[in-house]
Amino acid sequence: MANVLGSNEIKNMLDRGDLIVTPLLDLNRQIGRASLDVRLGQDFVLFRKGQIPVMDVKRAFDNTAWVDYYDHIRTDYGQPFILHPGQFVLSSTLEFLRLPRNVMAYVIGRSSWGRAGLVIATATFVDPGFQGVITLELVNEGEVPLSLYPGTRIAQLVFHRLDGEVQAYKGKYAFDTKATASKAYEDEEVLRLTRREN
């Protein structure tokens, strides 16, 4: 029976090395009854809004096409990244994860930040066997700018055990080590559309 893992099961998985979340500085503070808090990384990726013409999957013919339209900002510990109302930026978890092949996770917001207007991810599904940092899709839905400090607990993971084991995730975001922009242009059906026109 698939189920949500409680704190003891999460700890057991960490102890056994079946689940890797690193660096995990303060397990007691990061673990909840049925969740594990993860912290904000230092890197932020922003659209260069004045320059990107349109985000059209069919016009990105190689892995670099969209990359030209992003700015990358690294924020020191102790310094805030200011997220303005309505602003959308990518960042990532400070922690690198490796999930077992029979466990998936959802990355979801923490109430304390939700109450401040922060959305941390629109896409929340993390595959069984995923390895990498999780890219956060940060939006300030509130009315005042928010100071976001690297190293603070920004999101939480809820783990679900699968019925059975599957192949580990080997997709386009596997082994990410920093916030990674969309690679929707690599989707098979998009490639097919693009090829048809060339």
Ligand X SMILES: Nc1ccn([C@H]2C[C@H](O)[C@@H](COP(=O)(O)OP(=O)(O)OP(=O)(O)O)O2)c(=O)n1
Nearer to ligand X, 76 or 188 (CB): 188
Residue 112, annotated as binding a ligand = yes
Residue 115, annotated as binding a ligand = yes
Strand ranges for the chain from DSSP E: 3-4, 20-22, 36-39, 43-47, 70-74, 81-83, 88-98, 103-109, 118-119, 125-126, 131-140, 146-148, 153-161
- Give residue 57's identity as a one-letter amino acid code: V
Is position 123 an interface residue for ligand X (rule: CB under 6 A)? yes
Residues tagged active-site: 137
Is position 45 an interface residue for ligand X (rule: CB under 6 A)? no
Residue with tokens 């689940």: 19
Is position 160 an interface residue for ligand X (rule: CB under 6 A)? no
Which of 5, 21, 40, 107 binds ligand X (CB under 6 A)? It is 107
Is position 47 an interface residue for ligand X (rule: CB under 6 A)? no
Nearer to ligand X, 35 or 135 (CB): 135
Is position 126 an interface residue for ligand X (rule: CB under 6 A)? yes
Q: In terms of C-beta density within 10 A (0-12 exposed, 13-18 middle, 19 or more buried), how is residue 92 classed?
A: buried
Is position 101 an interface residue for ligand X (rule: CB under 6 A)? no
For residue 40 the two structure tokens come to 């904000």
CB neighbour burial string for 43-71, b if at least 16 within 10 angstroms, e if fewer: bbbbbeeeeeeeeebeebeeeeebeebbe
Is position 44 an interface residue for ligand X (rule: CB under 6 A)? no
Which of 30, 135, 140, 156 binds ligand X (CB under 6 A)? It is 135
Q: 181 Cβ partners below 8 Å, 6+ apart?
A: 45, 66, 67, 70, 90
Residue 111, annotated as binding a ligand = yes
Is position 171 an interface residue for ligand X (rule: CB under 6 A)? yes
From 33-41, 69-77, 159-167, 169-177, span contacting ligand X (CB under 6 A): 169-177
- Summarize as ranges the residues that interact with ligand X (CB under 6 A): 107, 121, 123, 125-127, 130, 134-135, 137, 169, 171-173
